[in-house]
Structure 1
Amino acid sequence: MRVIVIFMMALVLMYGDFLFAEFSPFNLGQLTVYTVPKLLLMFILLMSVYINPSISSFFAIVFGVLIDIYSGLVYGVHTFGMVAFVFFMHTAFRVFYKDFVAMGFVVLVLTFLYDAYVYMIYRILGLVTLPVFDYIALRGLPSLILNALLFIIVFIITLKTSKVRKNLLPKH
C-alpha cells in the first residue's frame, strides 16, 4: 500500500515539476529569469531519510528514467544524478540525523547541485549555451528560492506519505 501511495505522490510531484515549467521563463525588466522547481527530487531525497534509502533509490531510478525519456536529450543524466544525490543525502544524514534545519539546508543544497550537475553535463555536450554566471544569476538562484518556498509543502507530503500503512489489510 505504501509503495503505491509513494508512486502516486511521486507522479503528482513530477507532473507538478512539468506544470511549473510552463510558467518559466518570465521577464523581469530586460532579463529572462528561469525558475525550475525540483519537487520530485526533494521528495525522493526526503524519502531516503523518512521512509527508506533503498525505496528512495528505486524511485530515483524509475523516475530518473521517466524524466530522461521525457526530456529525450541525453539518456542517463537524470537517472544517474538522482541515484547519486540520494546516496549523498543518505551519507549526509548519518551526520545530521533528522535535524529539520540541517535537513532542509542539505536538501536545498543538493537540489541546487543537482540542477548545476544537469546544466554542466548539457553545457559540456553543447546542448546549453547559457554562460555560467548567467546560469547562477538567472536560473540557479531563482530556482533555489522557489525550491526553498516549495520545500515545506514537499516535506509535509513526505511526512504524510511515510505514515501510510505498509499493508492494505490489518493483521489479526
Structure 2
Amino acid sequence: MRKVLIGCLISFMFILESVFLELLPTDPFGKNWIFVPYFLLITILFFSVYGNRNVGVLYGFVFGLLFDIVYTEILGIYFFAFPFIIYIFNKLMKIFHSNIVVVSVMSLLAVSALEMIVYQVIKVINLTTIDFASFLHLRLLPSLGLNLVFIVIVAYPYKRLFEKYAAELKE
C-alpha cells in the first residue's frame, strides 16, 4: 500500500510544481526574481535517503523524462540531470550522516547543482542571454530560498513516511 502512496506523492509533487508557479504572484517582492520550485527533486532525494536508493534513481529517470516532455523545449536535460544528481547525492550521503539537517542542506546543494547544470547547458546552446551574475541574483538565490522554505515544512514528515516505507520493505 505504501508503494502506491509514495508513487502518488511523487506524482503529486510533479503536478504541484506547475500549479504552485501558477498560484505564485508574478513579482511578489517587487524584484525581477525567478522562483523555481524543485519540490519533485527534493521529494525524490529524501525518498532515496530514507526509503530506497535504487528506486529513487529510477524515479529520477522517469520523472526527469516527464519533466523534459512537459516543461522544457530540449529533451534530455532533466532526464540526465535528475538521476545524475540523485546518484551523486546518494554517494555523498554514504559519507555523511543521514540526519535531517544534513539531508536538508545536501538537498539544497543538489538543487543548486541542478540549476547550475541546466543553466550551463542552456548557455552552451545559446538559449539564454543572462550572464552568470544575473543568474545567481535573479534565479538561483530566490529559488534556493523557496526550496528552503519547502524543505523546512516537509523534511520531518518525509523522513517519517519514507522510514516507515523502508521498514515495510524489510518485513
TM-score, length-scaled by structure 2: 0.88
Q: Which has the higher helix share?
A: 2
Residue 94 of structure 2 is aligned to residue 117 of structure 1: no
1:105-161 alpha-carbon deviations (Å, 9 max, x no partner): 111111111112112111211222222111100110011011111003332442343
Distance 2:160 2:101 in 1: 19
1:13-43 alpha-carbon deviations (Å, 9 max, x no partner): 11111122222641644x3111111100001
1:84-125 alpha-carbon deviations (Å, 9 max, x no partner): 011111111111121222221111111111112112111211
Alignment match, 1:64: 64
RMSD, aligned CA: 2.0
Alignment: residue pair count: 167
Moved more, 134-143 or 10-19: 10-19
Residue 54 of structure 1 deviates from its aligned partner by 0.6
Alignment match, 1:143: 143
CA contact under 8 A between 1:5 and 1:161: conserved in structure 2? no
Distance 1:106 1:24 in 2: 28
CA contact under 8 A between 1:37 and 1:143: conserved in structure 2? yes
Deviating beyond 4 angstroms after TM superposition, the runs of 4 or more aligned structure 1 residues are 164-167
Alignment gaps of 5+ in structure 1: none
Alignment match, 1:41: 41
Distance 2:104 2:77 in 1: 24
Distance 1:87 1:148 in 2: 21
Distance 1:62 1:157 in 2: 24
Q: In structure 2, do the counterparts of structure 1 residues 137 and 24 end up closer, same or farther at CA, with 3 Å as the change threshold?
A: farther
CA contact under 8 A between 2:45 and 2:86: conserved in structure 1? yes
Alignment gaps of 5+ in structure 2: none
